[in-house]
Amino acid sequence: MIRELRQLWEQRASRRAFRAEPIARAALVELFAAAQRAPSWCNVQPWRVVVTEPPRTKQLADAMVAAARAGFPHAEIPFPLDYPPPYKEHRVACGVALYQAMGIARDDKAARYDAWLRNYDFFDAPHVAIVACDRRLGPYAYVDVGVWLGYVLTAAAALGIDTCPMASVAAYPDALRAQLPIGETDVILFGLALGHADDAAPANRCRTTREPVEANVVFC
C-alpha cells in the first residue's frame, strides 16, 4: 500500500495548463466525497468549498484577470513578505524550475507577468474550487484545511484528475465574493484548478524536488 501511495505522490505534480474538457459532475462529487474523510481537530470539518463548472469558470476567470490587472493584491490572510533560509532557496528553485520549463528568461519581466497572470484564468482549467474556512475558528482550522487539501490532491491523482493549488487567487477576495456564494464569516484561503492537463504545454514539464527527510524530521 505505501509503495502505491508513494508512487501516486511521485507522479502527482501541480499542472499549469489544462485542456478544455470538463470533469463529469459525478467524478467531482466522488473526489470531494472521498476527501470528506480528512481528519480535523474535534472533527469540525471547517473547509468551505465552492466549485465552478463551465461556463461559470470562464466568467470567474475573466473577473479575476480583470481584478489582477487593475489592483494590488490584498489577501485576507497576509502573504509572507520575506522567506528566510532555507525557505528562500526552495522558493527560488521552484520559480526557476517553472520559468525554465516555460522558457522564460530571468530578466524577461513581461513574460513573467504573463505567467503570473495565468493564475487568474486558472491555467484554462474547466473547474476551480475556491476554498475558505470559518475565520472564527482561528489558525488550527487552517491546519485542518491543509490536511483536507492533501486528501483532495491525493484523491484527485488517484482519479486521474489534474490539479494546481493557487494561493494567488486569494489575493483578490472582492472579485471572488462578487461572483460566488462565500460567507462573510469565511476567510478565503486558496483556489484549486481541476481538469485534465495539457501534457504538451511547456509549463507542465516543470517538476520540483524535495529535501531528504533529515532536513525536516528529527528523531531524538
Write out the residues near ligand FMN by the rule CB under 6 A: 13-14, 16, 94, 119, 164-168, 190, 208
Nearer to ligand FMN, 24 or 38 (CB): 38
Q: How far is the CB of 166 from ligand FMN (least distance, A)?
A: 4
What is the sign, positive or negative, of the torsion defined by CA atoms of 67, 167, 206, 16? negative
Q: How far is the CB of 25 from ligand FMN (least distance, A)?
A: 25
Q: Note the helical H segments in 74-206.
A: 87-102, 109-117, 139-159, 173-179
Nearer to ligand FMN, 25 or 86 (CB): 86
Nearer to ligand FMN, 26 or 204 (CB): 204
Nearer to ligand FMN, 52 or 119 (CB): 119
Q: How far is the CB of 207 from ligand FMN (least distance, A)?
A: 7
In whole angstroms, give the CA distance from residue 5 to residue 16. 23
Residue with the CB atom nearest ligand FMN in the bound state: 168
Nearer to ligand FMN, 11 or 43 (CB): 11
Q: How far is the CB of 44 from ligand FMN (least distance, A)?
A: 20
Residue with cell 481538469: 195
Q: Note the helical H segments in the chain.
A: 2-11, 25-35, 56-70, 87-102, 109-117, 139-159, 173-179
Q: How far is the CB of 14 from ligand FMN (least distance, A)?
A: 4
Query: Which are the contacts of 126, defined by CB distance < 8 A and separation ≥ 6?
Result: 18, 20, 21, 22, 23, 53, 54, 57, 194, 195
